Amino acid sequence: MKLSHIALAAPKIDDVLEKLRVLELKVKETHEVPSEKVKAAMVPVEFSPHFRIEILEPTAQDSPIAKFLERKPAGGMHHLCFEVSQLERWLKVVQDAGLEVLPPGIRKAARGKAFFIHPKSLAGVLVELEEIA
Amino acid sequence: MKLSHIALAAPKIDDVLEKLRVLELKVKETHEVPSEKVKAAMVPVEFSPHFRIEILEPTAQDSPIAKFLERKPAGGMHHLCFEVSQLERWLKVVQDAGLEVLPPGIRKAARGKAFFIHPKSLAGVLVELEEIA
């Protein structure tokens, strides 16, 4: 059981690739899958040695996860997180590229600090960038 | 820029862990993050050497991805895929555990064969198991 891919759906691949270039992620190849009636772009990524799937359960009704579950009661994929160094530099890169950052910007995270990119700026996907302390 | 985690939201962590055990994925540790008002369970996973993020764009209006975009026009995370060997054995394991498999079961995939587990059986997440030919 080895994780093979994470699939994102998007109206236009090129729009997503443009945003991913801001994060220095680049497409390796694009091909059509006629049986599924899709065009697929492959974007290789590196892994943190700490990589894991995280399951998040709300502990209060005003938790961000509780609000997500109001819209999707059965649960679902909530966000992707990338580990970076120089988080302040990445905040500037992301904002200079016109991607929206969720307030309050850089915040304390479980193991360091982090900020979130609004899903509307990145193919409907909430993306966290974190720097481990 | 290294992938650090994929976060799933769920009403009850224990329910998800029970399903993940069917896939032989086990929790390593669980902790609370008071600032985010969540409990988080960490599930380590291995990677396929072929791992990538896939961006899927529909090429026809009756594509499954087109249907997804009707509900989420901006796009979003669509599915997770795990690479396995002995796909037929996994189909039996998954069905014997009471998880629902999408019809028609095992199908031809881009690079081999695959089947999908219904999101309602796994924390709202569509999960593909594939075997590379």
Structural tokens at position B14: 């224990």
Q: Is a pLDDT exceeding 80 seen at residue B110? A: no
**What is the reported pLDDT for B43?**
96
Structural tokens at position A127: 């993306």
Per-residue pLDDT of B57-79, as tens digits, reads 999 999 999 999 999 999 999 99
Q: Rounded CA gap, A122 and A95, in Å? A: 13
Distances (CA, A) of B48 to A67, A111, B19: 33, 26, 21
- pLDDT band of residue A59 (cuts 50, 70, 90) is very high
Per-residue pLDDT of B88-108, as tens digits, reads 999 999 999 999 999 999 998
Q: Is residue A72 part of a domain?
A: yes
Q: Is residue B71 less than 8 Å (CB to CB) from chain A?
A: no
**What is the reported pLDDT for B35?**
82
Cβ contacts below 8 Å, chain A against chain B, sum to 326
Structural domain total, chain A = 1
Q: Is residue A23 part of a domain?
A: no
Give which of B3, B8, B4, B1 is closest to B77, Cα–Cα. B8
What mean pLDDT, rounded, does chain A reach? Answer: 95
**What is the reported pLDDT for B133?**
87
Q: Rounded CA gap, B53 and B47, in Å? A: 12
Q: Is residue B77 part of a domain?
A: yes
**What is the reported pLDDT for A34?**
87
Whether B45 sits inside 8 A of A51 (CB atoms) is yes
Q: Is residue A16 part of a domain?
A: no
For this complex, say whether ipTM is above 0.85: yes
The region that residue B70 occupies, defined by phi over 0 for left and psi between -120 and 50 for alpha, beta otherwise, is alpha
Q: Is residue B33 part of a domain?
A: yes
Q: Is residue B22 less than 8 Å (CB to CB) from chain A?
A: no
**What is the reported pLDDT for B36?**
86
Q: Is residue A39 part of a domain?
A: no
Q: Which residues pair with A32 in a beta bridge?
A: A39
Per-residue pLDDT of A88-129, as tens digits, reads 999 999 999 999 999 999 998 878 999 999 999 999 999 999
- DSSP reduced 3-state for A17: helix
Instruction: Give the predicted TM-score (pTM) of the model.
Output: 0.94
Residue ranges of B 78-97 with Cβ closer than 8 A to chain A: 78-84
Q: Is residue A103 less than 8 Å (CB to CB) from chain B?
A: no
- pLDDT band of residue A35 (cuts 50, 70, 90) is confident
Query: Among A16, A41, A82, whose Cβ lies nearest the Cβ of B4?
Result: A82
- Residue span of the structural domain in which B86 resides: 13-132
Which pairing describes strands A46-58 and B38-43: parallel, antiparallel, or unpaired?
Answer: antiparallel
Other CB atoms within a 10 A radius of the CB of residue A112 amount to: 12
Q: Is residue B71 part of a domain?
A: yes
**What is the reported pLDDT for A33?**
87
The CATH number of residue B54's host domain is 3.10.180.10
Mean pLDDT on A71-80? 95
Q: Is residue B5 part of a domain?
A: no
Whether B2 sits inside 8 A of A52 (CB atoms) is no
More confident residue, B3 or A50: B3
